[in-house]
Amino acid sequence: MNQWLDDRLHLSRLNDKFLRKAFPVHHSFFLGEITLFSLIVLIITGILLALAYEPSNSMVLNSFDPGTADKPNMLPAAYHSTLKINAMPFGDMLRRIHHWMANIMIAAAVLHMMRIYFTGAFKKPREINWWIGMLLLIFAGLTAVTGYILPYDNYAYSTVKVIYAITASVPWVGDWLAQAAFAGRFPGDGIIPRIYGYHIMLLPGILLALTGAHMLIMIKQKHTQPQYAKRLAYKKIVGVPLMTQQTPIMLLLALLFTGLVVLFAAFIPVHPIEYFGPPSASGVDNIKPDWYLLWVFGALAIIPGFEWEVLGGVINAEFVGAMVFPGIVIGAMFAVPMLDRSKDNQYYAENPTNHPVRLAAGVAFMAMMIVMSVAGYKPELIAGGLLTTQNANTILWILTFLVPAISYFATIGIVRMIRALREADERDSLAHAHADD
């Protein structure tokens, strides 16, 4: 039987090439795996949700509260079906798992990227995989945003309205672009079917294809080796093979982690659509995007309004805040591998303290993201009396640059200290070693 299968499917080749792939033993290498597990759980829960969801924004009679014959209670079908999902056994739970898993997937992806960045694993020959990873991050964000819109409650409605406005703010082609992307002027009759198509077909398809490419390249190029591998066997691959050692570890991790998220979902409610209600004329107070987009929101909040006319197109604050500026940030992240000029292939994960500038730049970058995310809470900061409408922008702008600068120099200082200590240690032990002779 094995022979029969092997003759046809070349299983032994598969075994040698893929199933024997060695995994480095270090906990930070699990971050990518967690991202992958989340994607799998997301797809499974997403399929289950799609079975009960009705992708339409036409109005239907509210089966929970039909109203009277002359004053029927009508709701958008998408919102109504989400209410029904909530009423299903474990329906609300399913939505929560899907939601929290998405948040955790992005968090794990960000941490995974941080490991890659701080250990220099993006260097030659792994630049392509860094770029694919960036694309994965962008498309994961887009998938999350489109997912937010599907319940079509008041929150989703306000969200998609702002996203439409941002799309329409592109100079020259904005109107066309927004109408093409959202099936007509906001809110077009086909807006929910359109976004449903994006969220369950287009974007997951892209995510899966990119994930496949990401992993194939990783298998081909092998992981960077942790430092201990250098001492153990120089320039040799050290680690446990996928079959049969890594697999049980992975399974255990996946189950443990999924269990945790389920527990999480059991206790922390999410996006209470009953509370927000169907799309309505009254806006939602304190509306905020998810944490990973808060920095864009913050940038929008502190860029003062302006409008320039250039050759018949209008360049305004929204476009700059929500498109140009994030474009620059993402562009900078894309460019990371190009800043490295090394000719040799990178085998070993580097100790971040041996690369103080890279480390400090990364820390400063994250500090900037955090300050801008805090700027997203401008209305709360004003309401809380910490800032006033008059000085909020100035103060937040100063912090946006000051805090990263301080973090940069502080990191460099700390790294110098660590290295000085380490060198002193080495000198010490060397001196003692001689004394012992």
Partner 1 sequence: MTRYKKQDPEITRRKFINVAMGTGAGVGVLSLVSALGSAKPAFRLTAEKAPPLKGDVLVHADPAKYGQPIKPSELTELAIVAYPMGKAKDGTPVIRSAEPNNQIGVYKFDPAQLKAPTKIEDTDNGIVAYSNTCTHAGCFPKSVQGSAIVNCPCHSGQYEPKEGCRVLGGPPNKPMPQLGVKAQGDQLVLTSSFLTSPYGYKSDEEWEAYLKQAEELLA
State the residues that interact with partner 1 by CB under 8 A.
158, 161-162, 164-166, 168, 176, 179-181, 183-188, 190, 277, 280-287, 297, 300-307, 314, 316-318, 378-379, 382, 389-390, 392
Instruction: Write out the two tokens for 266.
Output: 């059991």
Q: How far is the CB of 92 from partner 1 (least distance, A)?
A: 24
313 closest CA partner among 164, 160, 176: 176
Q: How far is the CB of 293 from partner 1 (least distance, A)?
A: 13
- Distance (Å, rounded) from C-alpha 122 to C-alpha 73? 56
Q: How far is the CB of 316 from partner 1 (least distance, A)?
A: 7
Q: How far is the CB of 172 from partner 1 (least distance, A)?
A: 11
Between the alpha carbon of residue 187 and those of residues 2, 146, 162, 169, 183, the distances in Å are 58, 15, 11, 16, 8
Q: For partner 1, which is the closer residue by CB, 130 or 164? A: 164
Q: For partner 1, which is the closer residue by CB, 88 or 165? A: 165
Residues 6+ apart with CB under 8 A from 175: 168
Sign of CA dihedral 254, 259, 261, 262: positive
Q: For partner 1, which is the closer residue by CB, 16 or 307? A: 307
Instruction: Write out the two tokens for 294.
Output: 């808060």
- Distance (Å, rounded) from C-alpha 239 to C-alpha 228? 11
Q: How far is the CB of 317 from partner 1 (least distance, A)?
A: 6
Q: For partner 1, which is the closer residue by CB, 342 or 389? A: 389
CA dihedral (35, 39, 45, 50) in degrees, to 10, reads 150
Q: For partner 1, which is the closer residue by CB, 89 or 304? A: 304
Between the alpha carbon of residue 402 and those of residues 55, 269, 367, the distances in Å are 47, 37, 10
Say if residues 215 and 39 touch (Cβ distance below 8 Å). no
- Distance (Å, rounded) from C-alpha 292 to C-alpha 181? 23
Bond prior to 187 in cis (omega within 30° of 0): yes
- Distance (Å, rounded) from C-alpha 382 to C-alpha 11? 64
Q: How far is the CB of 399 from partner 1 (least distance, A)?
A: 17
Say if residues 123 and 228 touch (Cβ distance below 8 Å). no
How long a stretch of residues is the chain?
Answer: 437
- Distance (Å, rounded) from C-alpha 420 to C-alpha 430? 15
Q: How far is the CB of 229 from partner 1 (least distance, A)?
A: 44
Instruction: Write out the two tokens for 259.
Output: 């269990």
User: Quick one: which H or E segment has residue 74?
Assistant: strand 74-76
Q: How far is the CB of 257 from partner 1 (least distance, A)?
A: 35
Q: For partner 1, which is the closer residue by CB, 22 or 320? A: 320
Q: How far is the CB of 191 from partner 1 (least distance, A)?
A: 10
Q: For partner 1, which is the closer residue by CB, 107 or 142? A: 142
Q: What are phi and psi of 382, to 5 degrees?
A: -70, -45
Q: How far is the CB of 397 from partner 1 (least distance, A)?
A: 13
Q: For partner 1, which is the closer residue by CB, 91 or 277? A: 277
Residue 325, amino acid:
F
Q: How far is the CB of 416 from partner 1 (least distance, A)?
A: 41
Q: For partner 1, which is the closer residue by CB, 85 or 301? A: 301
Instruction: Write out the two tokens for 128.
Output: 């392509």
List residues bridging with 61 in a β-sheet: 74
Q: For partner 1, which is the closer residue by CB, 307 or 426? A: 307
| Residue position matching structure tokens 């620059």 | 328
Q: For partner 1, which is the closer residue by CB, 183 or 349? A: 183
Say if residues 125 and 340 touch (Cβ distance below 8 Å). no
